[in-house]
Each structure stands twice: as C-alpha cells, then as structure tokens.
Amino acid sequence: MALYPVALEGEIPVGTNIVVEIEGRSIGVYNVNGEYFAIHNYCPHQGAEICKGPVCGTNMESEVYQFIYGRDQEIVRCPWHGWEFDLKTGKSLFSDKVRVRSYPMQIQDGQLFITVGK
C-alpha cells in the first residue's frame, strides 16, 4: 500500500475534479460537496476515459410514473455510452457488481492523499 499526495485541500473546488497519473494509472479526484473521492479514469464497459464525462445528478429510484431528481453532483456519467457511476462508491447505478475502481483518500494537514495498492 502506498500513499500518494495529489493536491492541497482547496485546490479542487466543490463540484470539480482533477486527473492525476499514479503508478502509470490515470485517476480522477473529485470534490463532491466537500468530500473527496478518487476513481480510476477507465470505464469498466469499453474503457472510455470516464473522467471526461459530466458530473451530474440523476432520477432516483421511485414509484411508477414518478420522477425524483436527486444526488446532484454525486454521479459521473461515462462520456461514451452514458453509464452512471456513484462517485462515492464507484458502483454503477444498474448493478452493484459493475463498478469503476475507486481508491480510498486521506487528508493530512490539508494535503490530499490517494491510497493505491493493498
């Protein structure tokens, strides 16, 4: 397991992200309403660079003919075929088994770190 410094707190304003290269892997770091999450910049479907996709909300599970918009800024949508992923867990919204790889983050003295490896 290794910790990699990626940015200072404040360098990634709420609702934005950066993409960093760590151990040859492209990783996106997102500020979701003040919390930080890191995902592999590689869609599990056909491998698109997922961090080029929009960060958005979505229609949440609901009753028939009901539309409830929510989770604003918590979803990243793949730029190719539109699969939605939960930035907080990496899970796709249609199956728990399909997920973009996510990496734990830590903050120490205002410095953001990504944990890569076991």
Partner 1 sequence: MNQEEKLPVIDCDVHNGFRSNHDLFPYLDDTWKSQALLRGGGLPLGGGLPYASPIGNKRKDANPPSGLPVGADPDYMIKQLIEPFNVEYAILCSDSMIAVSSFADADYAAAMCRAYNDYLIAEWLPKSPTFKGLLCIATQDPIQAAREIDRIAPHPDIVGVSIIGGSRMPYGQRFFHPIYEACQRNDMPLVIHPGAEGSGIFNPPTAVGYVSNYLEWHSCLPQTYMAHLVSFVCEGVFEKYPDFKVVLSEGGVTWLPPLLWRLDKNFKALRASTPWLKRLPSEYVRDHCFMTTQPIEEPDNPKHLKMMFEMFDAENMLLFSSDYPHWDFDDPTKILKQFPLETKRKILSENARALFKL
Q: Which of residues 13-72 bind partner 1 (CB under 8 A)?
A: 46-49, 52-54
Shortest reach from residue 114's CB to ligand FES, in Å: 22
**Is there binding between residue 80 and partner 1 (CB under 8 A)?**
yes
Q: Facing residues of 27 across strands?
A: 20, 40
Q: Which of residues 18-77 bind ligand FES (CB under 6 A)?
A: 43, 45-48
Size of the site for ligand FES (CB under 6 A): 9
- Please answer whether residues 7 and 18 qualify as being in contact, where contact means their C-beta atoms are separated by less than 8 angstroms: yes
**Is there binding between residue 101 and ligand FES (CB under 6 A)?**
no
Q: Which entry of ligand FES, partner 1, none binds 43, CB below 5 to 8 A by partner kind? A: ligand FES
User: Tokens 């003919």 belong to which residue?
Assistant: 65
Neighbouring residues of 116: CB distance < 8 A, sequence distance ≥ 6: 1, 2, 4, 22, 23, 25, 103
Nearer to ligand FES, 46 or 59 (CB): 46
**List of E strands, 52-117:** 55-59, 69-77, 84-86, 102-103, 105-108, 111-116
Binding site for partner 1 (CB under 8 A): 46-49, 52-54, 77, 79-82
